[in-house]
Amino acid sequence: MVDRALKVDSCKINEHHLSQLRNQLPRIAEEIIGSCNDRECYTHVDYEPIPSRECVIEIIDRLREILFPGYFTRGKLDPVNLRYSLGQSAVTVFDMLSEQIGLSIRHDCFRYDQPCSDCEEQGHRLALRLLEEVPSIRKTLATDVAAAYEGDPAAKSYDEIIFSYPGILAMAVYRVANRLFEYGVPLLPRIMTEYAHSVTGIDIHPGAEIGESFVIDHGTGVVIGETTKIGKSVRIYQSVTLGALSIPKDSGNQFRGKKRHPTIEDDVIIYAGATILGGDTVIGARSVIGGNVWLTQSVPPETTVILESPRLIYKSKNKKSALEMFDAVI
């Protein structure tokens, strides 16, 4: 009974202490609210709504149902309900995408004091345009899936690739976002590809130009910059960077919109960890870039670029065994 009484007293003391801490929250909240007027901080407190990241993610999920019917469909899909199911998905995507495109355009109009551009009408028109391009996007994605299967002995089926390969998810999102980017839709394409980046570890800017039969093997750490141009049947491995050279501080506007990232021609293979930088850098067709290579200059077609093999040192508790291993290497 004594222990219980002490425990109750202790709880009362803790409750009093918690009350003292909670009483400080109104002051802290006022300080946070005050910081919203600080021009050095970023805040969107306005009567005009902005695009919703959660809605964009929902749109991506719904689009995957249309891009790969039956794989990500919510429920069974068969020949009987195909027309109804895809029709319903298309209507849902149209409604959601129209709204988010309209909000993105409206956001730019108000934030940057642009003339009225009929954002709601544009939202409907561009959403419809994207849905009209779905058959074309599906065909291009099919070449990506086929190329991944043909080049990976570990893949047992096309189904395995569609369901589980991060490169296919990243490319599906990119190929949709790229269309919206080409339409001139602000903000939305980048939200899409950065969501894919957060899920797959593959960072593809929606402004990049990527041909068919493109494969990202493994994928983690891949970076493809905004003005990158990639031809057909290109394969890249994990941790490859197709990036821009560093620019002087505060000169972003000077280089914005200019070619800053490399061009990769058809049938190129780029192995893990390679870094290729610069808008003038061109990797010629059918070339092979080895792992961990750093390039800032162009490579002619049908060229192999590799690092010189490092000198390996073998250590063993058995001195004779180590010497034999070393002799075998050299």
**Position 285, amino acid:** A
Q: Are residues 235 and 198 in the same domain?
A: no
9 within some domain: no
The CA radius of gyration of the chain, in Å to the nearest whole number, is 27
Q: What is the mean pLDDT of residues 64-92?
A: 93
Q: Are residues 30 and 130 in the same domain?
A: yes
Instruction: Specify the 3-state DSSP secondary structure of 206.
Output: coil
Q: Is 308:288 a contact under the CB 8 Å cutoff?
A: no
What pLDDT does residue 37 have?
A: 84
67 within some domain: yes
Q: Is 97:127 a contact under the CB 8 Å cutoff?
A: yes
Report residue 185's pLDDT band, with 50, 70 and 90 as the boundaries: very high
Q: Are residues 153 and 242 in the same domain?
A: no
**Position 313, amino acid:** I
18 within some domain: no
Q: At residue 250, does pLDDT exceed 80?
A: no
* Structure tokens that stand for 222 in this block: 């891949």
Report residue 198's pLDDT band, with 50, 70 and 90 as the boundaries: very high
Whether the CA torsion 174, 202, 210, 213 is positive or negative: it is negative
Q: pLDDT, tens digit, for every residue of 213-232?
A: 999 999 999 999 999 999 99
Domain boundary pick from 168, 202, 236: 202
Q: Are residues 197 and 237 in the same domain?
A: no
Q: Could you tell me which residue, 25 or 48, shows the higher pLDDT?
A: 25
Domain boundary pick from 155, 186, 202: 202
Q: Which residue from 228, 233, 257, 260 is spatially nearest to 244, judged by alpha carbons?
A: 260
CATH number, domain with residue 305:
2.160.10.10
Q: Are residues 225 and 279 in the same domain?
A: yes
Q: Are residues 99 and 214 in the same domain?
A: no
**Position 321, amino acid:** S
What pLDDT does residue 320 have?
A: 57
Q: Are residues 159 and 246 in the same domain?
A: no
What pLDDT does residue 328 have?
A: 56
Q: Are residues 179 and 228 in the same domain?
A: no
Secondary structure element (H or E) that encloses residue 270, with its range:
strand 269-270
Number of H helices, E strands in the chain: 11, 14
- Cβ partners under 8 Å of residue 243, min gap 6: 223, 225, 261, 275, 276, 277
* Domain total of the chain: 2
Q: Is 175:137 a contact under the CB 8 Å cutoff?
A: yes
279 within some domain: yes
- Average pLDDT score over the chain: 90
* Helix-strand-coil split of the chain, %, nearest 5: 50, 10, 40
Q: Which domain holds residue 93?
A: 25-202
What pLDDT does residue 54 have?
A: 96
pTM assigned to the model:
0.86
60 within some domain: yes
Q: What is the mean pLDDT of residues 257-279?
A: 96
Report residue 324's pLDDT band, with 50, 70 and 90 as the boundaries: low
Q: Are residues 140 and 234 in the same domain?
A: no
Domain boundary pick from 176, 202, 228: 202
Q: At residue 319, does pLDDT exceed 70?
A: no
